[in-house]
Amino acid sequence: MSFTFITAGESHGPSLTIIVTGMPAGVRLDRERMNCDLARRQHGYGRGGRMKIEHDEIEIVGGVRGGETLGSPVAVSIRNADFANWAGAMSVWDVDEAEATKRRVHAPRPGHVDLIGGMKYARRDLRDVLERASARETASRVAAGALAKELLRAFGIEIRSGVVSVGDAGDPEAAVTWEELCAVDEESPLRAVHRAHEPAMIAAVDRARELGETLGGTIVAAAHGVPIGLGSYVQWNEKLDGRLAQAILSIHAVKAMAIGDGVAASRRVGSEVHDAIFFD
Amino acid sequence: MSFTFITAGESHGPSLTIIVTGMPAGVRLDRERMNCDLARRQHGYGRGGRMKIEHDEIEIVGGVRGGETLGSPVAVSIRNADFANWAGAMSVWDVDEAEATKRRVHAPRPGHVDLIGGMKYARRDLRDVLERASARETASRVAAGALAKELLRAFGIEIRSGVVSVGDAGDPEAAVTWEELCAVDEESPLRAVHRAHEPAMIAAVDRARELGETLGGTIVAAAHGVPIGLGSYVQWNEKLDGRLAQAILSIHAVKAMAIGDGVAASRRVGSEVHDAIFFD
Amino acid sequence: MSFTFITAGESHGPSLTIIVTGMPAGVRLDRERMNCDLARRQHGYGRGGRMKIEHDEIEIVGGVRGGETLGSPVAVSIRNADFANWAGAMSVWDVDEAEATKRRVHAPRPGHVDLIGGMKYARRDLRDVLERASARETASRVAAGALAKELLRAFGIEIRSGVVSVGDAGDPEAAVTWEELCAVDEESPLRAVHRAHEPAMIAAVDRARELGETLGGTIVAAAHGVPIGLGSYVQWNEKLDGRLAQAILSIHAVKAMAIGDGVAASRRVGSEVHDAIFFD
Amino acid sequence: MSFTFITAGESHGPSLTIIVTGMPAGVRLDRERMNCDLARRQHGYGRGGRMKIEHDEIEIVGGVRGGETLGSPVAVSIRNADFANWAGAMSVWDVDEAEATKRRVHAPRPGHVDLIGGMKYARRDLRDVLERASARETASRVAAGALAKELLRAFGIEIRSGVVSVGDAGDPEAAVTWEELCAVDEESPLRAVHRAHEPAMIAAVDRARELGETLGGTIVAAAHGVPIGLGSYVQWNEKLDGRLAQAILSIHAVKAMAIGDGVAASRRVGSEVHDAIFFD
């Protein structure tokens, strides 16, 4: 059975729940390393205030014994540290009417799925929609990804990423080396690949914040040590590019993805295109 | 997305975890009714002693607000009431060597998957296998089934079952009516469909127990109010009979299944076979 | 990607189409052997007259080159030898009204899916239903199975089967050895495991035919050389028993299935049950 | 069951085979319209010479009667018009050694999957790889897409596309209206959205051809009449953006995809981003 995962849980509900299937037996897990991934998600210049409240932690409740996977599905729970303040409005069984009214969302927010979700699932309080549609769901994916990375690590495969542009600062088409990605400073405000661009990026975030705006940007991610032959050309839904694309473009607010040279490749002749694969 | 579920969790681990996907929004759930299903699973003449320790309860941690489904995946947790006594041996992270040694399983038990699981997943302590292979996993299925029944109930569909034979007591090919299934006494020792057979069934259980044996039996289950057209003939893996068969024969220790007259039908001519479907 | 298949095609349409995915590269196929499986399906005392018209043959149109699989999906076509007589009524594009009227099915047949299919898919001519619901679809499964058997053969795994009862002749719970299954005479009228029972079985078929009836029966099938560890206990839908049960009970008119002792096991104590697995 | 498809067939094999499942019953199909989609795929300034040989045609062999879908899987065959010239080298059963040697591919081509496929599937003649990895597989997708479009059409949903850049000609980030997409001239050499850019695009193709190069470009595609609520936020693999991304990035040589403003959005503040959705 291939590695996959499924997630559940509302943003202000009691917890997020993740079940990962297809994890082989005998993989040793490092709790600290996995929690670091969750912490990195909560870090970043310009993030909302909520990130200061939560300190997400992976709680494994199935599929692992003594730090080693058993071959059975791995169940992960991430408790909502702020649930006490939401229990009245978000209780599974006994919602407090006054609390629920206070938290009620009448007006669908532009750029969100509030209106569509309310229509599709017949919800009058749009909180019923936005609680699940919230980007907090990405914490579940980070947990699943952290498990995947423990497995990859056993094969010497590493994943790295960094930010190359924010608004008009930086260069969205920057050529990036593996060494540059490894050198990204985890403690830096924006995890910029090119530190020289970071002050301009921070200024761009500050300007957007003053305007009450959000701001786009570009991330580069790469894998190192990947063996030949992942994915397959034999069937459309086994192609690695397509599977990566689904994973990435299903993340909230991600609106474009490129493999290798990607966007720039559209302007080039074949011999000048750099593929996603480098042989050192 | 069609209704399905996935389960995780070891028998003596901290909890079982279930995620049900495809549950529509707006279904009102009855917590008592769902817990009754879990309680029924723990009841039954001749069951092991563990059943007296556990009083399983469904704890929903996602997909439900104020007792109503949201359309998002429903996450259920069933805590292991006995975990305190197993925390040393079964801890996710910090196994106590002395406790683990005490609970270690060296000898594969006949009729169990211990040997095969140990070979497949390379486990030296067969507890790593039997903890997931345990029939306690059926508690997870009962939880998923309890949710499914809440949905079916909204459409006037009911499911009933009862025992028609235990060992050589009772009649495995008994014809059973819907009324007889509805009249099964939930408080009776074996939930026999025909109460007259129950004393003989109990005696058979007692005899088996004295011999240190387990004992086979036959259950009849039926659904009422099912609309025309569930399942489909258009593709082999959409056929209802096949999907039911997978669900039933994937239950621990279930070794045979028949639809309608089933086994008896193999001895009959076509016009004397009663199908699984009755039109009142 | 695991081995699976999907089928298409109507009983009197131009052809059946099967795509098998997950077939590894480098498996040498034996065309004769595969066609023998199709021929066996068409053989059998008491079968309908149509079997004399058709001589099904596997035509592979993808995934194989020079008799060897390429790792890509294997596409199989089985032409309908009788299509010329049905082209008017069953044409994909240009149905001849007179022919279609002649072949039209108004009255749903009891014991068939005609009525249910007509309601589910809103078909007025029930031929639209029965053409796909027809047991001719099993020819597609035999083709997929023949490919699977070529793969299994490369690992020394064999599958054998035979008939142990027809109506009240023979013994549905007969204990059967691998040697007996290997000795089943492919040319015998009913492929009985115990030849001594065959005359009574034939007489039972003759009586049923005189009455205008069909007749039930029991088949035993076994696999030899199966390695330890197929299937898995880690998730309900990976259990081998359940997957086999879906495959078997999705076959037209199959209404019961047992693993190992199966039905008899329901009357026995644990130590007297024979499982499905024999270690020689 | 949701609409999906699976494809089989090698580029120079006897035919491509497609099975589409989840197509509802009662959809009237227009053969001409579907073949037009196949013809459009073969058209385009600068395409290889093979396109002049093939005139692909959809041959439906299952799931359709009298031009109307039956609810059963739809099987499509696209014959290889050039197979006579390849039968010796590509025969399913009896490869002609001399012909096969003539067509043998020893040297993996850069930018293709030849090397990787040969390693993954242990093929010595890389033709075994490239025959399935060939972009001819997109003919199968066009056939599946043509069926999907017949279904969408029944709901008033239309799909349109056009080219906005080729190499450095045109503008990959051009804003495009639905009216402009509808006005794309099907007979024009490159189906440019902005006809004024077409001469420069053609010149770019000519230059690349002289250099023995291929050339990148950008396509805009849009759907009109789409109802609210396709896809879902409830689970990562149901999100529409992600599913579209997998479909698009699994197409040969497609290396980037954006939704709505996409790439440009990465440089903008939130209120200036145009989403993929327009309400007229």
For D154-195, the pLDDT digits (tens) are 999 999 999 999 999 999 988 899 999 999 999 899 999 999
Is the pLDDT reported for residue A262 higher than 80?
A: no
- Calculate helix-pair angle for C31-42, C137-153, nearest 10 degrees: 140
pLDDT of residue B73: 98
Residue A271 banded pLDDT, cuts 50, 70, 90: confident
Q: Which residues of B touch D5 (CB under 8 A)?
A: none
Q: Indicate which of C61, C69, C123 best probes the interface with D, i.e. most D CBs within 10 Å of its own CB.
A: C61
Q: Indicate which of C3, C142, C213, C236 best probes the interface with B, i.e. most B CBs within 10 Å of its own CB.
A: C236
Q: How far is C268 from chain B (nearest CA, A)?
A: 6
Q: How far is CA D115 from each of CA A119, A280, D127, rounded to the nearest angstrom?
A: 50, 17, 11
Distance (Å, whole) CA B106 – CA B89: 15
Percent of chain B with pLDDT over 70: 95
pLDDT of residue B126: 97
Residue D235 banded pLDDT, cuts 50, 70, 90: very high
Taking the CB of residue A279, how many other CB atoms lie within 10 A of it? Answer: 4
Contact present, D114 and D129 (Cβ < 8 Å): yes
pLDDT of residue D92: 97
pLDDT in tens, C198-235: 999 999 999 999 999 989 999 999 999 999 899 999 99
Is the pLDDT reported for residue D258 higher than 80?
A: yes
pLDDT of residue C272: 76
Give me the residue label for tokens 């259950």: B219
Is the pLDDT reported for residue A275 higher than 70?
A: no
Q: Which residues of A touch B17 (CB under 8 A)?
A: 17, 19, 61-62, 75, 77
Residue C278 banded pLDDT, cuts 50, 70, 90: very low
Q: Indicate which of D2, D20, D21, D234 best probes the interface with B, i.e. most B CBs within 10 Å of its own CB.
A: D234
pLDDT of residue B174: 86
Average pLDDT of chain C is: 92
Q: Which residues of D touch B71 (CB under 8 A)?
A: 232, 234
Q: How far is CA D225 from each of CA A115, A241, C89, D230, D276, rounded to the nearest angstrom?
A: 17, 29, 36, 12, 13
Q: How far is A235 from chain D (nearest CA, A)?
A: 7
Residue D137, both tokens: 């597989």
SS3 A23: coil
pLDDT in tens, D101-140: 999 999 999 889 999 999 999 999 999 999 999 999 999 9
Task: Give B16's Cβ-side CA count (13 Å radius).
Answer: 30
Q: How far is B251 from chain C (nearest CA, A)?
A: 8
Distance (Å, whole) CA B201 – CA D128: 64
Q: How far is CA C175 from each of CA B143, C219, C260, C273, rounded to the nearest angstrom?
A: 38, 12, 9, 12
* Residue stretches of chain B with pLDDT short of 70: 1, 48-54, 274-280
pLDDT in tens, A102-142: 999 999 998 899 999 999 999 999 999 999 999 999 999 99
Taking the CB of residue B20, how many other CB atoms lie within 10 A of it? Answer: 27
pLDDT in tens, C38-49: 999 988 887 765
Whether B70 and A121 lie within 8 Å, measured CB to CB: yes
- Calculate helix-pair angle for B137-153, B31-42, nearest 10 degrees: 140
Q: Which residues of B touch D64 (CB under 8 A)?
A: none
Q: How far is B156 from chain C (nearest CA, A)?
A: 19
pLDDT of residue D264: 78
Q: How far is CA A148 from each of CA A59, A155, A158, rounded to the nearest angstrom?
A: 16, 11, 11
Q: Which of A19-23, A170-174, B102-106, C276-280 comes out lowest in average pLDDT?
A: C276-280
Q: Which of A1, A232, A235 sits opposite C238 (nearest CB)?
A: A1
Residue C59, both tokens: 């035509």
pLDDT of residue A141: 98
Whether A71 and C234 lie within 8 Å, measured CB to CB: yes
Of all helices (H) and strands (E), which one includes residue D127? Answer: helix D127-133
Walk across the sheet containing A74-79 and list its strands.
Answer: A4-8, A15-21, A74-79, A59-62
Q: Which of B21, B71, B234 sits opposite D71 (nearest CB)?
A: B234
SS3 D164: strand
pLDDT of residue B48: 62
- Calculate helix-pair angle for A240-249, D240-249, nearest 10 degrees: 160
Is the pLDDT reported for residue D265 higher than 80?
A: no
Distance (Å, whole) CA B178 – CA B69: 30
Residue A123, both tokens: 């919800």
pLDDT of residue C279: 43
Is the pLDDT reported for residue C175 higher than 50?
A: yes
Q: Which residues of A touch D214 (CB under 8 A)?
A: 269-270
Search chain B and give the residue with CA nearest D3. Answer: B1
Q: How far is D256 from chain C (nearest CA, A)?
A: 26
The angle subtended at Cα C59 by Cα C58 and Cα C62, nearest 5°, is 125
Strand partners, C269: B215
Whether C236 and B113 lie within 8 Å, measured CB to CB: no
Cα B223 → chain centroid: 16
pLDDT in tens, A237-256: 999 999 999 999 999 999 99
pLDDT of residue B52: 59
Is the pLDDT reported for residue A216 higher than 80?
A: yes
Residue B224, both tokens: 């009422």
Provide the Cα torsion C103, C106, C110, C114; round to 10°. 80
Q: Return contacts of B153-156, CB within 8 angstroms, 24+ apart.
A: B154/B27, B154/B28, B155/B225, B155/B227, B156/B225
Furthest C-alpha separation in chain B? 65
Contacts with B215 (C-beta within 8 Å, 6 or more apart), sequence order: B46, B166, B167, B204, B205, B208, C268, C269, C270
